[in-house]
Structure 1
Amino acid sequence: MHKSKLFIALLGLGILPFMGLAQNKKDTPPANWYNLDYKSDGVMGISTEKAYELLKGRKSSPVVVAVIDGGVDVQHEDLKEVVWINKKENDDNGKDDDNNGYIDDKYGWNFIGNPNGENVNHDNLEVTRLIAKLEPKYISVLPTTPLSEAERREFVAYQKMVSDYTSKMDEAQFGDLNYGRLKQEIDRMISKIGKEPKDITKEDVGKFSADSDGQKLALRVTKKEVDDKSFEKFYEELKEGVEYYSNQVKYHLNKDYDPRRIVGDNYEDANERYYGNNDVKGPDADHGTHVAGIIGAKRNNNIGINGVADNVEIMAVRVVPNGDERDKDVANGIRYAVDNGAKIINMSFGKGYVYNKKAVDDAVRYAMEKDVLLVHAAGNDGKNIDIHPNYPTKYYTDSLNAVMGEAKAWITVGATAWKQDEDLLASFSNYGYKSVDVFAPGVSIHSTMPDNKYKDQQGTSMAAPVVSGLAAMLRAYYPQLSAEEVKQIILKSVAKVDQKVKVKQEGSSKRVYLDEISVSGGIVNAYNAIVEADKYISVNKK
């Protein structure tokens, strides 16, 4: 699901709103903080600029990084020079010039569209799709109903899904109602003030006189929010909150909504490879464009931002809708990226349920065989994913969910903030002693947005591309390294922090060290990684 689920408590509403920084602090870091160095700059970045000082004068080779996401604006001013171009394809001639099965795939491929140019925008959550499939079979099951062992396991899983689904729907309906009412009152406030949202000041809000209980509540909310941000920004966040909960009710949790007809494939055939279209931007490329910029926005061009990697080609692979991605599309996205030359695949998506794990596992094995590094976001639920998996995972499993092996060139990434204090771990970030490999900056990350825009976003979705960018740096300057060697260098060179951080555990807050909630016990560091790579090469690659 490519919309970050970052929730904060918003005054006395008693609901969990969509927008806002989890840390929600008035102080903000430098826009490029994730590339900065703690000793030099006082923020917990990954020392990218310091690393490039070490790399001065060295040669590098371009590395293709696939961004499997919700779409990328490949014409963005700060990305167009670093996008992957399939030179074997002619421009939109309606032919498969390179005979790879995908017509006019100049910049990548879109697996959630059709040849007529229609695209899936909204889709369900996986739990919704699973319930819709299982409900006819199990809705009338009684304790006395005879079931096979396999059916009994499936029924128990179905009951858990229903409980989870009901909780999500209750929250969504509550949020939809309350956000809708709040926006109505604030729209009325805007009308009475008589200014556009961009022109409304903190003083305007302070002078406003509410004329009803609903408007008094809206005014209290607004006053608190504009204390540390502009009215315009607060209003944009409110609109996104309204849209988020509306989408939950209309699409994500609507068992009767099924957009798959748009794609027109045989959805149950996971071996089907060739469907979709070449529209890699799609109807909503916010998330994927932001991710792409973090990895490799053109460095030092006096435009926009500096990505982490300086010799990279971004391949756009669209599989993630506004809702949960489908396993068939994820598997095909991985295979497409591998077959077309990607050496790193960024996967800033995830979900709590899985439909066809075997299809994804097989694609991951294929990537491992082809020396491709997979980088996956840990997820934004503040949970221990050793216990509550965030799919896809690095573990291969059988039909009974028993672990049958592990993808060795796979990195799962949690998110951190810029201060070395107890709030260093982003409050939304998932964690796991076995399942999360490293942490990387994921709060208040400034990057590219469609149509030559830029914006701060936050999530493990932003932390993963920081690591993908670092991996691309290593593979560019040390092409002799394998994907697994790159992973080991990244994990071995993390910056360790002698500071306990807050995590949510069983409904309460607990303080732990990073090595208690991850494999490496630290935050990725580009400078350290270059030093470590030099050592490794001198010993092992003579």
Structure 2
Amino acid sequence: MSFPVSSWLRLSALALLLPVVGAAQNAAPALPAVPAQQWYLLDPKADGVMGVSVRKTYDELLRNRPSAPVVVAIIDAGIDTAHADLKRLLWTNPKEVAGNGLDDDQNGYADDVHGWNFLGGADGRNVDVETYEDTRLIARLKPLYEGKARTAVPAAKRAEYDLYQKVKKTQADKVAENTERAESLGKAYLLNKEGADNLKLALNLPRLDTASLRRVSPADPNLYRAALGLYGNLREAGYADMESVLADMKEGLDQSKSLLDFSLNPAFNPRASIIGDNPEDTKDRRYGNRDNHGPDPSHGTHVAGIIGADRTNNQGILGIADNVRLMAIRAVPNGDERDKDIANAIRYAVDNGASIINMSFGKYYSPQREAVEEAMKYAASKGVLLVHSAGNESQDIDVQVQYPSPLYLSGQRIPNLITVGAAARTNDRNMVADFSNYGKKNVDVFAPGHQIYSTLPGQQYGNKSGTSMASPVVAGMAAVLKSYFPSLSATDLKRLILASVDVYHTKVLKPGTQKEVDFAELSNTGGLVNLYRAVQMASAEAAK
């Protein structure tokens, strides 16, 4: 799981501050108002932002229509199951007695009341930070091939030798990138924090939010220009306040330091002492513990809220789906997920009744790819839709394959998988999030994924960006379709979501570059998902 430090933050952070002084429902509920921060629920035409028309759909197409509950599994880093906007919607295993320490339903997982944790030890401890997959490959292959010439390696082992040379380079590149990032973000964070503190003091403001900055009228013209300039920069970058910018910078800084200390360290292996299994034994399925929360459930809690935060409690935010049960499966650490855990997580979700699985994770090496693909085939055989984030590295994944891949090893396209890129709020050159991966063949659709407001642990709410946020937008849409049209299969859901996109030919910045390209060339549909159009299509087909 990677945190997208946007190009805007990396390149513009130092200049951001201008110079300043030193339960199952039988019918759709009454329609609540959309919180102002949830732009992604709004309609492009009516509201002028690149949302997916959730409010319009409930208002015009689904009001008072019956729906059935749908189970959506969230394979992630954990979920805050006590959050007021999520706890009513949690999936509950009807055959399991909470807290008795027994495997009441004999499924191999004791006390799996709301899901399971494949990153936990039998003693209750948890893996938090993990290594990258290329780091793990370095640890395994270095003793075999370091210092050897290719001609000295047996022919049968040369493919593995070549893999070692490849991961050796990517590992070195990541170390260099994160060393530079930690240094530059560290300096930028301190500079901006000092400037923000000074500006708050000079303007007598508790927070530097856009509403406050727009209202202030200091007598000092330099101070006025500083406030106005910061207001413009925040608006352009899609931030509501300077505090959110600093929080993103701090998160990126902390992650870069963590990567250098742990995820990029070949000697680091927390799994050995905590779980004690063989990660390469993909037939082993009975391990882990019941802790759905984990050490850091921020990412998964945010994803869960996007899909299905409570739409009836008149607080917080609105999830996209209104009749959903959220199954928490912990299998994604801070670092690269293990293929074994992902395969087992998919199988667990399928066996316990999930219709849709959100997969906001990915990596660029997959040593046990066959095991993951077998699990995905198992999901397909049971009619389960998989929704996967495209990745946050500004890469063309038609060229640089990201896993899970949308293609099987055989080259066949996976029929029950949707791969999602991240879009931003405005229909202009910045419509594609600058960190988002893309691909004319291997990315299916784009969905809102920049500055997405959702649930956070500890009864909190906030913005996060990433294709990790775009994927649950699509998973939530799929849940709405499945809930109101229960006969739809996984392939039906995929077909409807892809066929109903709004195609745009806006000239946008190709992620990671300053080159403008046609938005429609960055995915195989050329479009942004739209729930209103998808429900219209489903309704028309159901009426035949």
Alignment partner, residue 381 of structure 2: 369
Which residue does 1:296 correspond to in 2? 308
1:284 aligns with 2:296: yes
Secondary structure of 2:515's counterpart equals strand
Q: Is this contact kept in 2: 1:380–1:429, CA < 8 A? A: yes
- Residue 252 of structure 1 pairs with residue 258 of structure 2: no
List alignment gaps of at least 5 residues for structure 2. 16-34, 213-217, 219-225, 235-239
Matches within 5 A, 1:373-452: 373-397=385-409, 403-452=410-459
Q: Does the 8 Å contact 1:422/1:500 carry over to 2?
A: yes
Query: Residue 538 of structure 1: CA displacement?
Result: 2.8
Which deviations, in whole Å up to 9, do the C-alpha atoms of 1:145-167 show, x marking residues without a partner?
1421x422222222121111111
2:260 is aligned with 1:237: no
Mean CA deviation greater in 53-62 or 6-15 = 6-15
- Distance in 2 (CA, whole Å) between partners of 1:365 and 1:416 is 29
Q: Is the 8 A contact 2:433 2:511 kept in 1?
A: no
Deviation at 1:232, TM superposition (A): 3.8
Q: Secondary structure at the match of 1:413?
A: strand
Whole-angstrom CA distance in 1 between matches of 2:394 and 2:429: 15
For the 8 Å contact 1:439–1:524, the answer to whether it is kept is: yes
Task: Answer whether contact 1:415 1:426 (CA < 8 A) is retained.
Answer: yes
Q: Is the 8 A contact 1:2 1:287 kept in 2?
A: no
Question: Within 5 Å, which residues of 2 pair with 1:479-518?
Answer: 479-504=486-511, 509-514=515-520, 516-518=521-523
**Residues 252 and 42 of structure 1: is their aligned pair in 2 closer, same or farther, counting only changes over 3 Å?**
same
Evaluate the alpha carbon distance shift between residue 434 and residue 189 of structure 1 in structure 2; reply closer, same or farther with a 3 A threshold.
closer
Q: Residue 328 of structure 1 aligns with which residue?
A: 340
**One-letter code of the match for 2:57?**
A
CA 526–255 in structure 1, closer or farther in 2 if over 3 Å, else same: same
Whether the aligned pair in 1 keeps the contact of 2:150 and 2:158 (CA below 8 Å) is no
Partner of 1:400: none
TM-score (norm. length: structure 2): 0.86
Alpha-carbon deviation of 1:510?
3.5
Which residue of structure 1 lines up, in the alignment, with residue 535 of structure 2? 530
**Partner of 1:501: helix, strand, or coil?**
strand
CA distance in 2, matches of 1:198, 1:359: 55
Equivalent residues in 2 for 1:105-116 (5 A)?
105-116=112-123
Which whole-Å CA distance do the structure 2 matches of 1:486 and 1:12 have between them? 40
2:168 pairs, out of 139, 152, 162, with: 162
Instruction: Name the aligned partner's letter for residue 464 of structure 2.
Output: Q
Taking the aligned partners of 2:111 and 2:151, their CA distance within structure 1 comes to: 57
How far apart, in 2, do the equivalents of 1:190 and 1:526 lie?
A: 40
TM-score (norm 1): 0.86
Deviation, structure 1 residue 519: 1.8
Q: 2:182 aligns with which of 160, 176, 180?
A: 176
CA deviation string 1:256-312 (max 9, x = no partner): 101112112222211000100010110000000000000000114211111110100
**Contact 1:504/1:510 (CA < 8 Å) preserved in 2?**
no
SS at match of 1:64: strand
Q: 1:473 aligns with which of 477, 480, 483?
A: 480
Question: Could you tell me which residue of structure 2 aligns to residue 210 of structure 1?
Answer: none
Shift in CA distance, 36/115, structure 1 to aligned 2, threshold 3 Å: same
Report how many residues are paired: 501
- Which segments of 5 or more consecutive residues in structure 1 lack a partner in the other structure? 16-28, 208-219, 398-402
Change in Cα spacing, 1:404 to 1:38, as seen in structure 2 (3 Å) is: closer
The share of aligned pairs that are identical, in percent, is: 46
The answer to whether the 8 Å contact 1:95/1:103 transfers is: yes
Q: Tell me the residue number matched to 1:20.
A: none
Q: CA deviation at 1:200?
A: 7.5
Whether the 8 Å contact between 1:111 and 1:277 is mirrored in structure 2 is yes
Contact 1:6 1:459 in 2 (8 A): no
Distance 2:320 2:516 in 1: 33
Residue 51 (structure 2) aligns with: 45
Over 3 Å counting, the alpha-carbon distance change for 1:185 and 1:378 in structure 2 is closer
Kindly tell me: are residues 405 and 115 of structure 1, through their superposed partners in 2, closer, same or farther at Cα, counting changes over 3 Å? same
1:180 Cα offset (Å): 4.4
- Matching residue within 503, 515, 526 for 1:521: 526
What is the letter of the counterpart of residue 404 of structure 2? Answer: P
In structure 2, how many angstroms separate the alpha carbons of the residues matched to 1:501 and 1:192? Answer: 36
Distance 1:41 1:181 in 2: 39
Q: Secondary structure at the match of 2:306?
A: helix
Q: Deviation per CA, 1:51-79, whole angstroms, max 9, x where unpaired?
A: 11211221111000000001011110001
Name the CA shift for 1:231/1:433 in 2 (closer, same or farther; >3 Å): closer
8 Å CA contact 1:2–1:320 kept in 2: the answer is no
Shift in alpha-carbon separation, 1:2–1:504, aligned structure 2, 3 A: closer
- Residues 126-184 of structure 1: CA deviation (Å, up to 9, x unaligned): 11111111111111211441421x42222222212111111110122233344445666
2:29 counterpart residue number: none
Cα distance, 1:256–1:501 mapped onto 2, change above 3 Å: same
Bigger shift: 230-239 or 271-280?
230-239
Q: Per the alignment, in what secondary structure is the counterpart of residue 439 of structure 1?
A: strand
1:449-480 Cα deviation digits (max 9, x unpaired): 01110001111111110100000001011111
Where does residue 8 of structure 1 map in the other structure?
Answer: 8
